[in-house]
Amino acid sequence: MVNTTIKTTKSQEVFAAAQNLMPGGVSSPVRAFKSVGGQPIVFDRVKGAYIWDVDGNQYIDYVGTWGPAICGHAHPEVIAALHEALEKGSSFGAPSVLENVLAEMVIDAVPSVEMVRFVNSGTEACMGVLRLMRAFTNRDKIIKFEGCYHGHADTFLVKAGSGVATLGLPDSPGVPKAATSTTLTAPFNDLEAVKALFEENRDEIAGVILEPVVGNAGFIPPDAGFLEGLRELTHDHGALLVFDEVMTGFRIAYGGAQEKFGVTPDLTTLGKVIGGGLPVGAYGGRRDIMSMVAPAGPVYQAGTLSGNPLAMTAGIKTLELLQKPGTYEYLERITKKLEDGLLQIAKETGNAACGGQISAMFGLFFTSGPVHNYEDAKKSDTAKFGRFHRGMLERGVYLAPSQFEAGFTSFAHTEEDIEQTLAVARDVMSSL
């Protein structure tokens, strides 16, 4: 059971102090609750499908540290593996066999990956793959999609969704025009717009990068034929196709979106799940492309903590757990029950809403929809979402504090957790 009311005196005190120590009181913008109102809760501990704040309140968690906690927080097998690894040291800055093990697991699982480079975050992975795609094609321009977020590197902060959308910033001060002059944008799910960009910039486009299922403008799946169309277009124009699977990798299927939809890109970025909750990222793809990365080739990229033994250990154990029979079937079942329930409750309580889910990833927009792209998502009633978020939080359910973020389940969530969440949602939506 979860609380029906919460008191957050200590959270308020801690957050008030934090605002004098860190910009906005947080280490990442969306955590500040700017788009949903009120103050954030301050975490104390996590376990399974639950979190506890510094006031001792318990919540059912649908953020899962923004995706990595697919096994649930602090899974005992992951923790045990980390304890053993920690005895050998927390950082090597040198090769270790753990890198080989996780690399083999990633290569075996993800259709596009023949070689992989480990880094420390999804942002770093996207920075690395951007440099690589330009070097391989000897072209400078890239196409990204409105509302897709690929980290906070200058080149990608153009209609970037996620925290940028949450804060209402179309871009960011400090990003020079020259840094984004080679970034072209198109609406997600709009193949004709992509075709037009290729025609207008013939032989100048290095590649197309996208979230195959958008998670940073809310949950937006690809329309039928969209990914296949991008694959054909990039091939025809000598450009590379890059799937940013930092969110979808090992979450919507063991082999990610490319396994789920049967479309193989040239390059892939990964993160979150493959670190089991520790900081990690990776990029990989065809051997001929990846062979250009230093020291095998001339494209430089390095990192002191890349391949960190603790992150590798957590990733290995997490992927082992995901290979257990029935895991993805269970994730699909409970997430569909949650999503279907939320949409039904919205309908019964007179709240315009739409959304969807794939495996352990879901989303809910307060608009009649349908939502095919970022412009559609922006039609959502964000004020209503803020009230919904606060109501759920006050009754012990923790959702992403932004209309423009996907939600995540784990195999630690139980049927009872879903039923409790839906009961709370009915109560909250009835008063919106």
**Active-site residue flag, 244:** yes
Full strand arrangement of the beta sheet holding 141-145: 115-119, 281-285, 267-271, 240-244, 205-210, 141-145, 183-186
Give the containing element (helix H, strand E) for 226.
helix 226-236
Q: Which residues contact 240 (CB under 8 A, 6 or more apart)?
A: 133, 136, 137, 206, 207, 208, 234, 265, 266, 267, 289
**Active-site residue flag, 378:** no
Q: Whose CA is closest to 289, among 73, 105, 134, 86?
A: 134
**Active-site residue flag, 149:** yes
CA distance 266 to 144: 15
Give the containing element (helix H, strand E) for 227.
helix 226-236
Handedness of CA 427, 429, 430, 432 (dihedral sign): positive
Please pick, among 50, 59, 62, 149, the residue that the annotation labels catalytic.
149
- Angle (CA) 205 109 251, round 5°: 85
Give the containing element (helix H, strand E) for 267.
strand 267-271
Burial class (CB in 10 A: 0-12, 13-18, 19+), 131: middle
CA distance 284 to 207: 15
Please pick, among 144, 272, 317, 378, the residue that the annotation labels catalytic.
272
Please pick, among 53, 61, 190, 244, the residue that the annotation labels catalytic.
244
Full strand arrangement of the beta sheet holding 43-47: 43-47, 50-53, 58-61, 397-398
SS3 212: coil
Residues that are catalytic = 149, 244, 272
